[in-house]
């Protein structure tokens, strides 16, 4: 579930990240008026036009169709580019409470949760959150500086308190599980701090979960290989001008390299 007026690119990048990470089938739930745009951009991805309110934005009119769709899926990516109007916020809350498959939440989905983070305690299925420090600060009603000053312990405590898996992005991305375990990622570079990189990661992580990886293994593989793809490109032509679409094209290369090690 991704995209809204002005933010169809986020939806496209998420889907492409999922496909390049090995998902056999990706379906994009998109506001129905935006469907023609993404159908032109996405050749290999199926689309599901959803009821919108207001035009160009997902709201609670779509919830029944979304629930029905997820019954036939293995994982759900929620949030890239969906916006934070009131109807979308309510939709995000209901998805968290009513969907029965693992949900990876990023971007505007996280901003919606920040309105009432305790909704996470009502989740039926595993939840993975992928905030950058600013989004994490909103979730915790803190400042980004406070988050950055204690990244490991904040991640650990939050994951335990809300029974979620947390991927706190940034230099040395941190992954925390609900049981107090922490993993620190060694890959990635400053050139990856560009628009759309998080959308690609969300697609990859959702893809690995759908392929049957455990949640923590999926998170570790997604974060590591995402950063490795960026490092591979940077080693060839530098960090300046590194785009999310560059990383998407490199994903299969690094995954095959990892498989053959």
The pLDDT > 90 percentage for the chain reads 100
C-alpha 184: how far from chain center? 18
Q: pTM of the prediction?
A: 0.98
The pLDDT > 70 percentage for the chain reads 100
Mean pLDDT of 202-227: 99
Q: Is the peptide bond before 54 cis (omega within 30 degrees of 0)?
A: yes
The CA distance from 185 to 208, in Å, is: 17
Cβ atoms 196, 14 nearer than 8 A:
no
Q: Which domain holds residue 152?
A: 8-260
The domain that contains 155 carries what CATH number? 3.40.1190.20
46-102, pLDDT tens digit by residue? 999 999 999 999 999 999 999 999 999 999 999 999 999 999 999 999 999 999 999
Cβ atoms 173, 205 nearer than 8 A:
no
In a domain, residue 3? The reply is no
In a domain, residue 2? The reply is no
In a domain, residue 229? The reply is yes
- What is the model's pLDDT at position 48? 98
Structure tokens belonging to residue 175: 């992954």
- What is the model's pLDDT at position 78? 99
- What is the model's pLDDT at position 204? 99
134-146, pLDDT tens digit by residue? 999 999 999 999 9
Side-chain-side CA neighbours of residue 143 (13 Å):
3
CB atoms within 10 A of CB 76: 22
In a domain, residue 98? The reply is yes
Structure tokens belonging to residue 98: 């009513």
In a domain, residue 183? The reply is yes
241-256, pLDDT tens digit by residue? 999 999 999 999 999 9
In a domain, residue 1? The reply is no
Parallel, antiparallel, or unpaired for β 127-129 and 165-168? parallel
The count of structural domains within the chain is: 1
The CA distance from 16 to 91, in Å, is: 24
């Amino acid at each position: 579930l991704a995209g809204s007026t002005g933010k169809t690119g986020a939806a496209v990048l998420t889907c492409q990240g999922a496909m390049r990470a090995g998902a056999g089938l990706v379906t994009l739930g998109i506001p129905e008026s935006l469907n023609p745009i993404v159908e032109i951009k996405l050749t290999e991805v199926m689309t599901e036009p959803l009821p919108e309110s207001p035009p160009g934005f997902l709201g609670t009119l779509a919830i029944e169709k979304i629930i029905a769709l997820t019954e036939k899926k293995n994982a759900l990516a929620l949030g890239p580019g969906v916006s934070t109007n009131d109807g979308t916020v309510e939709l995000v809350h209901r998805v968290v409470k009513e969907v029965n498959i693992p949900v990876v939440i990023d971007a505007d989905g996280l901003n919606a949760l920040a309105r009432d983070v305790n909704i996470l305690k009502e989740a039926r299925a595993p939840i993975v959150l992928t905030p950058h420090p600013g989004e994490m600060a909103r979730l915790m009603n803190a400042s980004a500086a406070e988050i950055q000053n204690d990244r490991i312990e904040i991640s650990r405590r939050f994951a335990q308190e809300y029974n979620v898996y947390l991927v706190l992005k940034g230099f040395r991305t941190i992954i925390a599980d609900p049981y107090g375990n922490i993993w620190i990622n060694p890959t990635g570079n400053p050139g990856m701090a560009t628009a759309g990189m998080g959308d690609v990661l969300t697609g990859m992580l959702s893809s690995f979960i759908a392929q049957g990886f455990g949640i923590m293994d999926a998170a570790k593989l997604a974060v590591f290989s995402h950063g490795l793809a960026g490092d591979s490109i940077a080693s060839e032509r530098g960090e300046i001008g590194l785009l999310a679409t560059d990383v998407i094209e490199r994903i299969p290369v690094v995954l095959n390299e990892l498989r053959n090690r």
